[in-house]
Amino acid sequence: MKVDVSKLLRKKKKEIFESWLNNQLVDETLREDLISNEEMREQSNALLDTLLNSISNTNIAEPSSPEFESVNEILQGLSISRARQGFSPRETGAFIYSLKDAIIHVLQLEIPNDPVLLYELMLKISRLFDRFGVVTFETFIQGREEVILRQTSEITEISTPVIRVWDGILALPIIGTLDSSRTQVVMEALLQEIVETSSSIAILDISGVPAVDSLVAQHLIKTVAATRLMGAECIISGIRPEIAQTIVHLGIDLSKIMTKSSLASALKYSFSLLQLEVRKTQKEKTNIIHG
Amino acid sequence: MKIEREQDVVPFRNRVKEFAVKIGMSLVNQTKLITAASELVRNMLKYANGGSVIIEIINQGRDNGIRLIFDDKGPGIKDIPLALKDGFSTGKSLGIGLPGARRLVSEFDIKSVEGKGTVVTIIKWKNG
Ligand SMILES: Nc1ncnc2c1ncn2[C@@H]1O[C@H](COP(=O)(O)OP(=O)(O)OP(=O)(O)O)[C@@H](O)[C@H]1O
Ligand SMILES: [Mg+2]
């Protein structure tokens, strides 16, 4: 017996669609919180239409056939948007795999008396959907990576606060690795604040920087140079002992830069530059006078 | 471990740190090793468009240490002694990456074939 699969599937579209939707609705991983029923209906309908239009008796055995490109495109679009919406890989995969179940179910009903043919078709459908699954997951991961990249850049922005510690003194604690893009953000934020507050001293605290290699050092040196061009003095503080030793062995020359071991000592030094003095109030004396 | 993009640097360094912590390396030596590794990995990205690194724990008598092998298929280095000089750079940089890395570790070996690639092997002993 010879069967025109693509015709058969197209004829049974309605059954496949209903069975598929049903599969999705009863699936415990269904995210009703993330997607509405209508939206799911729409997406499912679009995918099924495209699939049934693309599938033929020859390409059903060739998952990599370019004729499935439009199916892959839809899957990629769905997968990316689901990754961004916060679906899990399992939930995203369930979408495509439940369609496979629906199709196989219909084939079973339609070809009741020819197990050999049924087996052959099921195998082909399986291979085809394996391929669709791979496309789905690949794109899903891509979508997630984009989310991560976006978050990374957000973190870069929020993690560079410029603090006005005193009139004329700014402090900028740097946490994490100072790469090129980060340096740009740090430098811009710092120079901007120097202008706005007309500060004359900036303290870059690197206690939170895990390692100072030549690239980080170069970025620091550039930032210091830029600060000086703005007419402000720049002090680097928070150099831990192990970092100091490493810098020396590496051969980086920081001798032209004012460095301090802690933010406190950098602040103290800044006060002396501004000719400010911090003193303990002499409470006892006052008490004696008044008492 | 594959190194292909700048984003791979931090995870790689954390991996090296994990290994160093595992064998109980002191904080100073850890920092030296990580910094040297950072230099070499950055060179790999900058001059050879990436490559791969093998991280392993090695033993010699009572001492153990970490060995890192940086392997790239980049353009190679024409004059190795020159590249190892402080201040030499073809990349308008400080030129202290290679010589600095050499000073930070216990053992340093570099092999390079022009047009084929570069392999740098470093060892940092736990107490070295
Ligand atoms: N993996 C590599 N493949 C090809 N050339 C390299 C490689 N590593 C280093 N070099 C060459 O050796 C030179 C010296 O490297 P080194 O790391 O000492 O300095 P740099 O990278 O130029 O500057 P820095 O590391 O101080 O920022 C480089 O300028 C480059 O020409
Ligand atoms: Mg370098």
Q: What is the pLDDT of residue A131?
A: 92
Instruction: pLDDT band for B99, please (50, 70, 90 cuts).
Output: very high
Question: Which is it for strands B107-113 and B117-125: parallel, antiparallel or unpaired?
Answer: antiparallel
Partner residue facing A177 (CB), from B10, B39, B103: B10
Q: What is the pLDDT of residue A291?
A: 45
- Pull the structure tokens for residue A122: 């099921």
Non-local (6+) Cβ contacts of A142 within 8 A are: A80, A83
Q: What is the pLDDT of residue A1?
A: 52
What distance in Å separates the CA atoms of residue A16 and residue A9, rounded to the nearest whole number?
8
Q: Going edge to edge, which strands form the sheet with B117-125?
A: B2-3, B51-60, B63-72, B117-125, B107-113
**Domains within chain A, CATH numbers bracketed:** 5-152 (1.10.490), 163-273 (3.30.750.24)
Choosing among A246, A247, A256, which should be mutated to test the B contact, i.e. which has the most B CBs within 10 A?
Answer: A246
B82 C-alpha to ligand 1 centroid (Å): 10
Q: What is the pLDDT of residue A2?
A: 66
Task: Report which residue type is found at A111.
Answer: I
Q: Domain count of chain B?
A: 1
Q: Which domain holds residue B110?
A: 2-125
Instruction: pLDDT band for B124, please (50, 70, 90 cuts).
Output: very high
Query: Are A249 and B86 inside 8 Å of each other by CB?
Result: no
Q: What is the pLDDT of residue A157?
A: 64
Q: What is the pLDDT of residue B48?
A: 92
What distance in Å separates the CA atoms of residue A55 and residue A225, rounded to the nearest whole number?
64
User: What pTM does this model have?
Assistant: 0.63
A128 C-alpha to ligand 2 centroid (Å): 48
State pLDDT tens for residues B11-57.
899 899 999 999 999 999 999 999 999 999 999 999 999 999 999 99
* CATH code (residue B112): 3.30.565.10
The parts of chain A modelled with pLDDT lower than 70 are 1-2, 29-30, 156-159, 283-291
Tokens 């399986």, residue located: A126
Look at ligand 1, atom 27, and give the residue with the nearest C-alpha.
B93
| Contact indicator for B104, B128 with CB cutoff of 8 Å | no
